[in-house]
Amino acid sequence: MDIHAVNRMSYEEFLDVFGNIIEKCPLITAAVWSNHPFSSLNGIEERVYEFIDHLPPSGKEGILRCHPDLAGRELTSGSLTIESQQEQRQAGLTSLSTEERETLGLLNSQYKTKFGFPFVICAKMSDKYKIMEEMRSRLQNDPSQELLKGIEEVKKICHLRVQQLSNGVGLPTKL
């Protein structure tokens, strides 16, 4: 997909395609659309990042709360977004041993208790071992550090999702 095709999209088409580049936050995509036409796909990412960076801490926490627990209830119930399903599968989170699932569940719980939002990591750039190691390490952070780290990870996820779309993967068939 090239930027000219993106700039020709209606608001609804843009939301259909880019609505989940930030997990379950189509409002961000909707706000960014008002800045079109875009000069490049990277320009879309930049507008998204600017939007996020200008949010107060509570807004950034809200973005993090939209993310599912890794290998959590949404994965086992099949209610993850398509993007999250693929990312968690690629990281090996769909083939955990019973012990690994219990460990990850405990870490998820400890993390959410301490910070008030789910642990977010770019699963596509990781694996189950690195994820558990990162969770243990990041549990030592203070809340302001962890908010920044979580948002950094959201931006990595966004970047990879936009790149995937730019390669034509995940596009609605009508476009």
Catalytic residues: 67
Torsion of CA 133, 135, 140, 144, to 10 degrees: 140
Alpha-carbon gap, residue 124 to 102, rounded angstroms: 22
Q: Are 108 and 119 in contact (CB under 8 A)?
A: yes
**Distances from the Cα of 6 to the Cα of 2, 26, 37, 158, 174, angstroms:** 7, 16, 8, 17, 14
Rounded-to-integer distance, Cα 43 and Cα 45, Å: 5
Conformational region of residue 4, where left means phi above 0, alpha means psi within -120 to 50, and beta covers everything else: alpha
